[in-house]
Every structure is written in structure tokens, then in C-alpha cells.
Structure 1
Amino acid sequence: MSLDKPYKHIPGTTIFDAEMGRLGYHLNQFCMSLMKAENRKRFKANERAYLDEWEMTEEQKQAVIDRDYNRMMATGGNIYFLAKIFSCDGISFQDAASTMTGMSQPDYAQMMLAGGRKPDANNTLPGEKNG
């Protein structure tokens, strides 16, 4: 049972906390396995077969296959662990982050150089307290 989390509804944000860590444990361990060259080779040779060696949910496995980093984070993936996947694919952190925003890499880079996303009036949903 999860605790009351005042940060739960920050629009556009997935908070990685202990509960998410438990949810994504096997996904994150899979990601860490990609630090070894032989595992990257096996993964690239047959992604599905390699993923099936891990106790991940089907949703997590499909998110990896689709390279849907937002879905991976929503199912417990930590961005620093997920970086092993896009590194395995030969793309930069910035390129991967741009896919998470729906922006092109140049547009994403320019936004970040300009100070990042601008928050609206506040960072909570209507009717909630900013905790």
C-alpha cells in the first residue's frame, strides 16, 4: 500500500521513489546487465529472448522493445539505469531525452540551453496543495 505522496501529481513528472524502485527492480537490473559487452551482444542479437530471461512485466518488456522511455519510467525504470539502453543503441542522453518530450533533438537542446521547460503558474493539479 502506498503512502500519501504530495508529489504524486506533478504534471509531466514521474518521481522515482522506493515504491517505483520496487516496481522497476527487474527492469533496472536488466538495464545494468547491459554494462557487459557480452550481454549487449546477446540483447542486440535477439532482444525478446534476452528480455524473457528477466522477471519483468510484459508491459516493461514491450516498452523496452518499443524504446518507449516514458513507459519504462512509468513502470519503475530509473532514467540513469535506462541510459544503459540508449547507450547500447548508440544514442546520446540528449537524443533519448528529446524522444521523451516529443521534441526534435535540436529543439530539445535549444530549450535546455534556454533554461529548460518553464513551469506554469504552479506544479500541482487544481485543488491540490503544493507540498
Structure 2
Amino acid sequence: MDKNSEIIRIEIIRILNENGKTRGTELAKRVMEKVGNEKTVYREISALVESGDIEKRVHSRSHIEYELVNLYESVNNQLKNLHSEVKTIFEEIENFDNISKIESLSFHERLRSIIHLIQIVQSTD
């Protein structure tokens, strides 16, 4: 699974955590606002249904709802993912601090590194 697919799956699960039952078109629209195109979003939704992570309820052809199967486990996994991202960012900041002390980097190198770290933190949702 590539990185984009993983991001789309996480976003689908996050939206379902927030809203509970969600119509298929609304779910896809909200995911596409953040990442992905229509084809990949619907492919990942189908993959999550097949794996049993989310449940698909068809009321009519135009009214399809999705719901998380195990909310507790899903929230727990999201918190673990967030924790690992925060830990990675913290380690990068510590590493930058150590390198800047040891090598006495120039002002421009430190500034570039700090901007890069800020972009990493901002990309964490």
C-alpha cells in the first residue's frame, strides 16, 4: 500500500469517527477535499468494506451509508498513529538540536532546517 492510500484510509476512518454513520457521497467529498481523487477514494472505501473495518448499508441505490465496525479499536489506532508521528517529529527536533550544537551550523542552514521541521509539523493533521 502506498503512502497516499494510507493517508486516504486514515482520513476516511477519521471522518467516520467524528460523524458516525455517513452517506457515501458526503464521505467521499470530504475525503477528496483533503487528499486524493474520486477514483482512489472510492477504491479505498471499498477496500475498507472488504477488510471489515467499515460497514456498508445500502438503503437505495442513491442512499448508501458507511459506519465504523469497531469504534474503540479505530480510535485507539488513530491515537497510536498520532503518538508515533509526534514522537518522530520530536526525535527530529532533538536530532537537529544536537547537530546544530556539534557542527555549529551557519544561520542559513539552521533556518532551512527549522523551516523544514515547521513544514513537517504543519503537515501532521
**With CA pairs under 8 Å and 6+ residues apart, which has the higher RCO, 1 or 2?**
1
Determine which structure has more spread, i.e. the larger CA radius of gyration. Answer: 2
Note whether the superposition's TM-score is higher than 0.5.
Answer: no
TM-score using structure 2 length: 0.31
